[in-house]
Amino acid sequence: MKITIFGTGYVGLVTGTCFAEVGNDVVCMDVDENKIARLNNGEIPIYEPGLEDLVRRNHKAGRLRFTTDPDEAVRHGTFQFIAVGTPPDEDGSADLQYVLAVARTIAERMDEYRVIIDKSTVPVGTADRVREQVQAVLRERGVDVPFDVVSNPEFLKEGAAVDDFMKPDRIIVGTDNPRTTELLRALYGPFNRSHDRLIAMDIRSAELTKYAANAMLATKISFMNELANLAERLGADIEQVRIGIGSDPRIGYHFIYPGAGYGGSCFPKDVQALARTAMQVDYRPELLLAVEEVNRRQKELLFSKIQRFFGDLKGRTFGLWGLAFKPNTDDMREAPSRVLMEALWEAGASVRAFDPEAMNECRRIYGERADLTLCDSPEAVLDGADALVIVTEWQLFRSPDFQAIRKALKQPVIFDGRNLYDPVQMAKAGFRYFAIGRPVVEPQA
């Protein structure tokens, strides 16, 4: 099948590449000439396990092409995917200017039937606005070209996006006529072979499903962080509580890990956008607002622990393990590391940091500055640091040489925002160890 993808960001690039991998003819279009040039040269602008090899293989085979030419893009695909960004507006609502701009671009050029598919995460009612935009442009052109608008939200986890697309838990398709449902069923046939994962519903329900899924997961995280803060004050161990409640199959173990707060491009933005949508229909979403507030507060927790322990931070240096908002990505959008570093800098401290994938992204965001040293290894971070702070739970950090850490730090202090280690064992190793929702065990001499 011939497929066009507008947007070569995270969602667009993964979607286009995976469709090409099963034999489709895919054109990815973006207005960013530099990004398209890099993609045509085999350079991948994001880190996602397994994606680079797939892009290069399918591009070489001619099934995956990249262009800045909208005429070529609209002419190519019966299926026109909109996978551009929907950044939060000043009031937290999703900014649809890029989605609607693509709708206009398609409408200005199409001369035969097209299925226009909203892949971007968009508020309920966006498909109606896309349809209105296309109809308005067609009227301006004085032509009558048939088209359908579909909601087909993505459910890709950063760090596992290729597997998520190739082996989906579910494929949500929101349509307003049976013909389009069957077209989408055929399109997704290669990913839907062992059993039927495609769930067809009305368009508005599909749009809400995406926001509901992310809001539910964010709620679980904030709930566990709320419990962790309570456990800390009650002398309980949140990790034991987590195991206790996770054993209940009604709750399960997924997304109940306490930590330094959630980040990334999805949860913060989508919770805010869903809350704003609720406000627009005169409903105050108390739970969503609480989820967001708990997360905002949780991102400040590591700094509070550090400040409580050291007092005046001016002139001190802190080593950070982890910059990305989670492992297996280089994404630092809304990352807890950013809140922590900016607070440390504001307090007059310096930062030494290492991340397996997010170093270049950190340089892009913060540039060169005297109070930030990006190190080439986890060990180098420790040199001259007053304490080690663990912000991202990369596998690389799970079993370090604690004797080497103790020797390198000015004093044996670790602040663990991801609860990687056992407090009793850390005390035996001579560390002052501060985790999230766990008792502090005094170090042994």
Instruction: Considering the candidates 18, 28, 266, 362, report the single residue annotated as catalytic.
Output: 266
Computed on alpha carbons and rounded to an integer, the radius of gyration of the chain in Å comes to 24
To the nearest whole percent, how much of the chain has pLDDT over 70?
Answer: 100
d(CA 19, CA 77): 12
Of 436, 444, 441, which Cα lies nearest the Cα of 415? 436
Which of 387, 392, 415, 414 shows the shortest CA–CA distance to 257?
A: 392
Strand partners, 416: 390
| CA-to-CA dists, residue 157 to 10, 11, 47, angstroms | 10, 10, 13
pLDDT digit string, tens, across residues 82-107: 999 988 777 778 889 999 999 999 99
Would you give the distance in Å from CA 176 to the centre of its chain? 30
The answer to whether the CB of 99 falls within 8 A of the CB of 130 is: yes
Q: Of 386, 409, 387, 405, give the one whose Cα is nearest residue 397.
A: 405
Average pLDDT of the chain is: 96
CB under 8 Å to 301, separation ≥6 — which residues? 229, 260, 261, 417, 436
Query: Which of 48-52, 173-177, 183-187, 441-445 shows the lowest mean pLDDT across its residues?
Result: 441-445
Q: Please report which confidence band the pLDDT of residue 445 belongs to, taking 50, 70 and 90 as the band edges.
A: low
Phi, psi of 286 (to 5 degrees): -55, -45
pLDDT at 270: 94
- The rounded distance, in Å, linking the Cα atoms of 265 and 149 is 25
pLDDT, mean of residues 304-323? 98
Strand partners, 351: 318, 372
Confidence of residue 20 (pLDDT cuts 50, 70, 90): very high
Read out DSSP for 382-432?
Answer: TTT-SEEEE-S--GGGSS--HHHHHHHSSS-EEEETT--S-HHHHHHTT-E
Comparing CA positions, the residue from 356, 361, 383, 228 lying closest to residue 341 is 361
Give the pLDDT score at 195. Answer: 78
Q: Please list the residues that pair with 147 across neighbouring strands.
A: 114
pLDDT > 90: what percent of the chain?
93
Closest by alpha carbon to 180, among 170, 188, 168? 188
Return contacts of 418-422, CB within 8 angstroms, 24+ apart. 418/257, 418/259, 418/260, 418/322, 418/390, 418/391, 418/392, 418/393, 419/238, 419/239, 419/257, 419/258, 419/259, 420/390, 420/393
The phi, psi pair for 275, rounded to 5°, reads: -60, -40
Tokens 């006529």 belong to: 177
266 annotated active-site:
yes
DSSP string of 367-378, one letter each residue = -S-TTEEE-SSH
Q: Angle 81-326-31 (CA atoms, 0-180°, nearest 5)?
A: 30
Half-sphere exposure of 84 (CA within 13 A, CB side): 19
pLDDT band at 407 (very low <50, low <70, confident <90, very high): very high
**Model confidence at 241: pLDDT above 80:** yes
CA–CA dist 357, 15 (Å, integer) = 22
Residue 22 has pLDDT above 90, yes or no: yes
d(C-alpha 43, C-alpha 47), whole Å: 11
User: What pLDDT is recorded for position 93?
Assistant: 80
Residue 265: predicted pLDDT: 85
